[in-house]
Structure 1
Amino acid sequence: MARREAIVAVLRRDGRVLVVRRGPDVARPGYWQPLSGKLEPGETQRQALVREVHEEIGLTVSPGAKVWESLTDDGHFRLHWWTTEDSTGDPVPDGDEVTEARWVTPEEYLELTPVFEGDREFFERILPNL
C-alpha cells in the first residue's frame, strides 16, 4: 500500500493552538485535531499548508518550520507537522470539512474527546518544546 502525504498546521496564538472538529463530509467526523489535509499532486508541503488552512477556516498563513513527522493510526498517511506564521482574523469553518474551530491550550486539548493518539502525542511531547 502506498502511503499518502498530508500536512498538519500548527497555528499558535497567545499560547494556544487552533484545533477543529472534523465535519460530516470527511472520514471520522467529530474528532478534534489541528488542521490537516492531503498534498495534491505536484504540491509542496508549504503550498498544501497554505491552501488547506485557507480552504478549511479562511485564514491566510505563511509556513513556519516543519517540527515533526508521524503516521496516522491506520498507517495510510505520513503527516508532516508545520508551524505557521499566523494571520490575524477569526477562523471561519468551511462547514463540510470543519464544524467547529477553537483556540485551546495544550492542557485543554488533552481534555477534548475524541482525539487521535498521534495528535495527543504531539500535544504532550512535541509542542511543549517548540
Structure 2
Amino acid sequence: MAQREAIVAVLRRADRVLVIRRGPDSARSGYWAPLSGKLEPGETQEEALVREVHEEVGLAVSPLAKVWQSETDDGTFRLHWWTATETGNGTIVPDPGEVSEVRWVTPAEFLTMTPLFDADREFFERVLPNL
C-alpha cells in the first residue's frame, strides 16, 4: 500500500516549540508531539500545514520552509516537517478532540516528556538544533 502524506508543523517562539498532548479523538492519544496532520486530496504541504494548525489550535500561520522528512513508526505516513511563523494574534484555542494539552517547550524539556514518538525525538535531538 502506498504511503500517505502528512505534515508536521514546527512553530517556534524564541527558543521554544509548540507541542501538544494528542487528544481523545487522535490516533495515539496521550502522546506528546508537534502539531501534525494528513494532506487532503489535491492539497499542497503548505496548505495542509495552515489548515491543520488552525483546526487543532486555532492559530493563523504562514509556512516558512520544509526542514526534514521522516516516516511514522508503522510506515503508514511520510512526514514532511515544516517550520512556520504565526501571523495572527497568537491566541490558542485547542480542538478538544484532537488536543488535550498545549505547551511551549524548549527542546530539552520536550525530550523529558513521555510518551514521545521516535521520529519526534530524533528531530528535537538532531535536526532542530541546526535550524
Moved over 2 A (4+): none
Match of 1:127 in 2: 128
Structure 2, gaps ≥5 residues long: none
TM-score w.r.t. length of structure 1: 0.98
Q: Does 1:54 align with 2:54?
A: yes
Between Structure 1 and Structure 2, how many residues are aligned?
130
Deviations 1:9-48 (Å, cap 9, x if unpaired)? 0000021000000000111100000000000000000000
Match of 2:105 in 1: 104
Instruction: State how far apart, in whole Å, the 2-side matches of 1:28 and 1:70 are.
Output: 17
Instruction: State how far apart, in whole Å, the 2-side matches of 1:90 and 1:117 are.
Output: 30
Match of 1:95 in 2: 96
Q: Where in structure 2 are the equivalents of 1:28-47 lying within 5 Å?
A: 28-47=28-47
Match of 1:115 in 2: 116
Deviations 1:51-89 (Å, cap 9, x if unpaired)? 000000000000000000000000000000000012341
* More displaced stretch, 79-88 vs 120-129: 79-88
**In the TM superposition, what is the alpha-carbon distance from 1:90 to its structure 2 partner?**
2.9
RMSD: 0.7
Q: Sequence identity of aligned pairs in percent? A: 74
**In the TM superposition, what is the alpha-carbon distance from 1:91 to its structure 2 partner?**
1.7
* More displaced stretch, 4-13 vs 78-87: 78-87
Match of 1:12 in 2: 12
Instruction: State how far apart, in whole Å, the 2-side matches of 1:118 and 1:91 are.
Output: 25
Contact 1:13 1:86 in 2 (8 A): no
Contact 1:71 1:78 in 2 (8 A): yes
